Amino acid sequence: MDIKVLGPGCRNCEMLEARTREALDELGLQVEIGKVTDPMAIAAYGVLTTPGLVVDEEVVVSGKIPTARRLTELLSR
């Protein structure tokens, strides 16, 4: 599983990363989370509002911070 947090490194990006880690822990998965901070690279994913979350090159979250429970659902697909 390849996971990336898209955003400039703001507080919301950090919160999305923390909740994603919570969800991964809940699922018992050890996955490294990458960070994409370059605005052009973020835009290449079609994300115009950060933070964004990409799982296996598919944007699953954009412009919001879901609960850890919702992230668990997204990551268990």
Q: Which residues are catalytic?
A: 10, 13
> Is there a contact between 61 and 17 (Cβ–Cβ < 8 Å)?
no
Q: What are phi and psi of 45, to 5 degrees?
A: -80, -5
Rounded to whole angstroms, the Cα distance separating 65 from 30 reads 21
Strands 52-55 and 3-6: antiparallel
